[in-house]
Amino acid sequence: MTRLSQKNALELYQTSPIETLQQHAHDYRMKKHPSSIVTFITNTNPNYTNICSTACLFCSFCRKKVAPDAYILTREQFEDLVRSAQKNKISCILLQGGLHEAISLEYLISLLSISQNIAPEIHPHFFSAPEIVYAASVSKIPLQEALKLLWASGLRTIPGGGAEILSERVHAHLSPKKLTPSQWLSFHKTAHDLGFKTTATMMFGHIETAQEMIHHLDQLRSVQDETNGFLSFIPWSYKAHGNVLGKIVSQQKDPEKYLRIISISRLYLDNFPHISASWFGEGKATGKRALHFGADDFGGTLQEEHVHKAAGHTLSTTRTEISEMISTEGFIPRERDAFYRIIPLERENRDTLPRQPQEGR
């Protein structure tokens, strides 16, 4: 396939009949993953604090430190959280939190240590770029050194939160106190160079233009050309309930827009191994449809989730149901680990998974 330009991708996204776009994306997905397998992971997505100083307009979860429901998890509370994940046979904890001066790099490392000591079989998929950069600044440690310390503490993969739309215009309007687009991209380049694998995300459906979405994809593709460190791309729609932006932007569900984004992402991000559909962010019906529009991964079981919940969006599933959703669409459900490696069938029913390898590139 000839590599798409931004101009051609924009034209395809805006004008191509959705059936045509679907067919192109599905064909390319089957070329990259011809076995018809769709993967998922058994995970949970707790938060260690809801206190945050960035005041992003789209966030319903963050609290000021004086708020009555503000919290920072104690060591004992996080230990209980890890034991609960272990009891429920979770294979990966996706842990994130707000940016607050009480959250130092030492605190982040302590959470890694607790997780590794209590449940070394559970993969720690911890801390997005803004969190690590902020905690490093609190501790007055250079970013590269901070990442090396996190690596030494057992971190191997980093979630892609904080990207939103990689546009200076959007950033200036929605999250001026957070990492700029160039800083977010630079962070992931640095992490990849040190051996980390990360994911990439995009939050759409607010003030972005179609051109800015395609430019977002182009910047991700350029970094992947350099580092090959991104494991997957995960887009999701903005949720308007309970945040400042929701009073300005009227949000309407648009399943077709989501399916177009999944399709054009699969076609444009030709160097990304995986495109993830979201049963959680977009609803189960739309999430399942996305498996026919280029996605080969179905996300996680999300035993615990609070950020979308704060925006009035709640859904749940089980390992059995997620397998059934994939199967009913004609695909083969297989459980994966945080590196998107398929877990051998003879191991899927075991209580624990092997500890992730510690070597880097």
What pLDDT score does 307 carry?
44
Spans of all domains in the chain: 8-339
Taking only the tens place, the pLDDT of each residue in 96-108 is 999 999 899 999 9
Q: Return the H-helix or E-strand segment holding 297.
A: strand 297-300
**Strand 43-44, strand 197-204: pairing:** unpaired
Distance CA 204, CA 239 (A): 10
Report d(CA 18, CA 262) in Å as an integer. Answer: 11
Task: Tell me the C-alpha to C-alpha distance, in Å, between residue 249 and each of 42, 195, 241, 245, 307.
Answer: 34, 40, 11, 6, 19
pLDDT for the residue numbered 359: 36
Question: According to the model, what pLDDT value does residue 357 have?
Answer: 37
DSSP calls for 54-77: S--TT-SS-B-TTSTT--B--HHH
Arch. (CATH architecture) of 8-339: Alpha-Beta Barrel (3.20)
Check whether 164 has a pLDDT greater than 80.
yes
Q: Could you give the 3-state DSSP secondary structure of residue 203?
A: strand
Higher pLDDT, 256 or 359: 256
For 295-302, what is the mean pLDDT? 91
What's the pLDDT score for residue 122?
97
* Whole-angstrom distance, CA of residue 136 vs CA of residue 147: 9
What is the band of 304 on the pLDDT scale with cuts at 50, 70, 90? low
Over range 102-117, report the average pLDDT: 96
pTM equals 0.91
Residue 360 has pLDDT above 80, yes or no: no
What gap in Å lies between CA 192 and CA 129, rounded to an integer? 12
Would you give the end-to-end CA distance of the chain in angstroms? 29
Q: What number is the average pLDDT over the span 17-30?
A: 97
Collapse the DSSP code of 308 into the 3-class scheme (helix H, G, I; strand E, B; otherwise coil) and give the result. Answer: helix
* Average pLDDT rounded to a whole number, residues 80-102: 94
Residue 225 is predicted with a pLDDT of: 98
